[in-house]
Amino acid sequence: IMCNLKEKSFSLRSRKEKRTIVKQGRITPVLQVIKKDGKTSKQFQTSWYEINKWLTGSAVSNRLYCWPCLLLSKKKGTWTNEGYCDWKHFSRSASLHCSSQEHIQNEVSLKCMEREEMSIDTLLSEQQYIAILQYNDNVRKNQEVLKRLIDSIVLLSRQELAFCCHDETAESVNQGNYRQLFDYFFRHDDELRAHWQENFNIFSGQSKTIQNQLIFCIAKEISLYIDNEINDCSFFACEVDKTTDISQLSQLSVVLWYVDGNRKTQERFMGFKDVSMDRTAVSLKQVIDSIITKYEYKTKLVSQSYNGAAVMAGELGGLQVLIKTDAPQALFVHCLAHCLNLILQQGAHFFATLNGFPTFFAHSIVGRRIPSMCAMRWTSTSRVLHAIVEERENLCAVYQEIIDGIGWDGESRWQVSGYLSALKNAQFLFLASSYCEIFITDILYNILQKKNTDVNYFMLQIQQECEKIQNLRSKECFREIYKAVAKANTYEKYFDLDRLKNEFNVIFSDIQFRECSVYEIIHIIVETELRDVLREVFRFFCLVATIPVTTVSMERSFSCLKHIKTYLRSSKDQGHLRTLATISMEKELLSFLEKQPTWYDNVIERFAAKRDSKVSLIFHC
């Protein structure tokens, strides 16, 4: 600034430049020691700036100046143009200068300029402060109006009621639920009603656009909370089912299960998706991907549950198989209510899948020939079954080689992927291990093949075999079968199995854990602060609690759909339907969010960011 003042004097500058220089004030740099004839003179003292409030300096010229005289003096001199550098005699020279009439006059003039500048800034600051107060008071009233709109929408959405009516004119005696509620909220608040009427042309809050935007903002707050919970959990499960709405559209409903931070099992509605155009397994897989990809489902999805339709639950080309290609650990849990009706069909399906193994290969490629099955010879099924169980690992390696190899046609790859999935399926392995034990009836078959067999001997053998089968219905036998299946455990990667086994031994030797349900055990571990000590067991029971046993959540979402999309409200678009259903299905979560101190602020802030409106909704500081 000192160089600029030398190039262009203060008197030649514009008013704006003068105000800027005066407002910035003097500078006080530290100057260097001056040497004369190789000798060091007296050192520069920074305390001189504190003693002499008019003093300034230039690090470029290494000299001192008088700030008032530099700006306002019309005469050239040591303290104005040339600069002072005699540190040895500074005290005497400074005393003489500050006592001069010219310096006193310049200092008085500079003080007047500074005072004038401060008065202008103060006046502007006061006016700005008043304007901010008025603005914020207007924002406060606007937000109070918006809070009543939010409450109206929450109430109607939670109760699944219609918003609009066929006649919403001012003369109508029934203007619709939304407008009627809006009117009731203002009935006992004359100040707020007057403010709303004053800004009616700018923001009435009664248009369908405003309603839909507020519905979206409320549903978004719920969705964000659910997203955060799922991202924080270790596992989650997925339920999917579809139904037909009043408009004859096929609506796919998706619900996710997980254990939240408070160790409570939650089922969260993720919305409806219109799948009328394409209901194939591949298309449904794409829809599911669009919903759960953000939750890292390839590592966190542990269970998938459907209604049992072939396109969803099919073991060869169904949705569950496509999901398992990305998330192999995602166990398919058939709704137990459907299983009750389909148990016989499932048994027949197991043997249909089993028959595919020998028919796929024309000759042996696993070191031994896989026998073929014959409908008239039950013992042939036994041989096939034992061969598959004993050569399971080799079969898996062969099938994987076919999938990854070159030269195989698409149909073979497709068949192999189904068989490989079956060999890794816990249900298939359990049935295979069980039937291996049950097929001790081969002995009876061999006896019947003998020429000399009397009835008494054969009846005795039948009785012995029945006793053997009866003995298989013991806990010890079940444990042996379960251990064989557990070797192919899809959840093994989540646990330290050795530590898990030891922790199980500890908790089941403790009386407080005996005869407790899964949820009770989780609660005990949390309450007794044993999460870190029994971390593997705690993680295991959280996984078990995550897996749903029925698809009853789907039925609840279908009931909600029937209430929201009725004959008179059949023209709703998909986005509006999804947001209303989210608010209705998540009543409990909505009640929790409404109790949070930032509930209204979050919704209003989201609404203000979404809408380019003339109404002011955000406070100024």
Q: What digits encode the pLDDT tens for the residues 373-429? A: 554 444 556 677 777 777 788 888 888 888 888 777 777 788 878 888 887 777 777
Q: Pinpoint the alpha helices (H) of 439-573.
A: 442-448, 455-471, 475-486, 497-508, 518-527, 535-546, 552-564
Please give the pLDDT value at position 448.
57
Task: Report yes or no on 303 lying in a domain.
Answer: no
Q: Which helix (H) or strand (E) holds 63?
A: strand 63-66
Give domain status of residue 405, yes or no. yes
The predicted pLDDT at position 225 comes to: 93
pLDDT at position 435, please? Answer: 72
Q: For residues 51 and 49, what is the distance between their CA atoms, to the nearest angstrom?
A: 6
Last residue of a domain, one of 489, 507, 526: 489
* Coil, strand or helix at 182: helix
Residue 396 belongs to a domain: yes
Number of domains in the chain: 2
Distance CA 388, CA 397 (A): 13
User: How far apart, in Å, are the Cα atoms of 308 and each of 101, 345, 402, 503?
Assistant: 104, 12, 29, 36
Q: Is 462 domain-assigned?
A: yes
Confirm whether 262 is domain-assigned. Answer: no
pLDDT, position 371: 63
Could you give the C-alpha distances from 506 to 217, 387, 495, in angstroms and in order?
A: 49, 39, 17
DSSP 263: S
State whether residue 513 is helix, strand or coil. Answer: helix
- Which of 435, 469, 489 is the C-terminal boundary of a domain? 489
- The amino acid that residue 350 corresponds to is F
Which segments in the chain show pLDDT lower than 50? 123-124, 310, 315-316, 340-341, 344-346, 363-364, 375-378
- Beta strands 39-40 and 55-58 are unpaired
Q: Pick from 489, 513, 533: which residue ends a domain?
A: 489
Domain that holds residue 8: 2-99
3-state helix vs strand vs coil in the chain, percent to 5: 60, 10, 30
278: in domain:
no
Are the C-beta atoms of 598 and 606 separated by less than 8 Å? no
Supply the pLDDT for residue 164: 80
| Distance in Å from the first CA to the final CA of the chain | 34
pTM: 0.59
Q: Is residue 165 part of a domain?
A: no
- Report if residue 519 sits inside a domain: no
∠ CA 140-141-146, rounded to 5°: 95
- Per-residue exposure over 443-470, b if at least 16 CB sit within 10 Å of its own CB, e if not: ebeeeeeeeeeeeeeeeeeeeebeeeee
């004053």: which residue's tokens? 198
Please, are residues 370 and 357 in contact by the beta-carbon 8 Å criterion? yes
For residue 364, what pLDDT is reported?
A: 47
- CB neighbours of 202 closer than 8 A, spacing ≥ 6? 613, 614, 615
Return the pLDDT at 316.
47
